Amino acid sequence: MFDQFEAKTFSSDNAEIFFRIGGRGPALLLMHGHPQTHMIWHKVADKLAQYFTVVAADLRGYGDSSRPPTDSKHTPYSKRVMAQDSVNLMASLGHNSFKVLAHDRGARVAHRMAADHNGCVERLMMLDIAPTLAMYENTNEVFARAYWHWFFLIRPAPLPELLIKTDPDAYLAGIMDGRSDGMKYFSSEAMQEYRRCIRKPGTAEAMCEDYRASATIDLEHDRQDIENGHMLDCPVNILWGKNGAVGTCFDVLAEWRKVAKHVTGMELPSGHYIPEEVPDILLEQALIFFRD
């Protein structure tokens, strides 16, 4: 996996960001979700590298990136700060504008990056999310049961952290098994990496802070955009899983058209983990969208 990629580390705003880079051509940043790492792209990264200079990074708090201390407002784990990590990383590689393919939490970071850095994101493909504000403001029982961890992780410290650290492997499996068709799509090599990284000191704390930020400071930033009439200008493509909760609970394209000007997308025959469940379909759609 990632045989053609070089592993590197970049310093950004009190955080060390681990990433892999490979390929050649236009720059494409891959951003993973919770509770995983950049390894979620292992089924598509090598093929994408035939067309793009691919950068697959671990978000701060995840994988082999560092877990910086937080503050009372959860600012270090706000999507604004996490987005700045990515902008800084790509600029250090000589890319002041680039394309983005992002899943789950990484897609929330990518949304904020496109909002805060106009012209930086050339094209944005996001996987299996609706806007964070829309999801919180329109929570129903179906969504709350499927996304129980959204409400568990934002509880005050240290209870969620203590429970995760008691058995991090069980937490990992509990999240992933319930949002896919079992565990059959996840390779043993990828699972080994996810288990290794979730056991790293500080991971539980960082994951909780990521979600606490999403329920507080991130919503403030999203509301400010709406109040100011600020919408994403870049082309946005949304893909979501037919068997997931996002499409069941939300009109995905309608919600994104409230915050972005140029939105396309479609439902895929998968659950939540699109890059690992239907990599061939994702690759096909990514090449259509990013090479347009």
The catalytically annotated residue of 64, 85, 104, 225 is: 104
SS3 15: strand
What whole-number distance in Å separates Cα of residue 249 and Cα of residue 143? 6
Peptide bond into 35 cis (omega under 30): yes
- Look at residue 116 in the predicted model and tell me its pLDDT: 98
pLDDT at 74 over 90: yes
What whole-number distance in Å separates Cα of residue 216 and Cα of residue 203? 20
pLDDT at 181 over 90: no
SS3 102: strand
Residue 38, token pair as written in the block: 């950049």
The pTM of this model reads: 0.98
What whole-number distance in Å separates Cα of residue 51 and Cα of residue 65? 26
- Look at residue 251 in the predicted model and tell me its pLDDT: 98
> For the chain, what percent of residues have pLDDT higher than 90?
97
- From the list 137, 141, 113, 142, the residue with the least C-alpha distance to 215 is 137
- Look at residue 77 in the predicted model and tell me its pLDDT: 98
- Look at residue 182 in the predicted model and tell me its pLDDT: 84
pLDDT at 246 over 80: yes
- Look at residue 227 in the predicted model and tell me its pLDDT: 98
- Look at residue 225 in the predicted model and tell me its pLDDT: 98
pLDDT in tens, 221-237: 999 999 999 999 999 99
pLDDT in tens, 115-147: 999 999 999 999 999 999 999 999 999 999 999
- CB-based contacts of 174-179 (< 8 A; 24+ apart in sequence): 175/34, 175/35, 175/149, 176/35, 176/273, 178/146, 179/146, 179/244, 179/245, 179/271, 179/272, 179/273
The catalytically annotated residue of 32, 38, 42, 272 is: 272
Judge contact between 57 and 91, C-beta under 8 A.
no
pLDDT at 179 over 90: no
Catalytic: 272?
yes
Determine the residue type at 194: Y
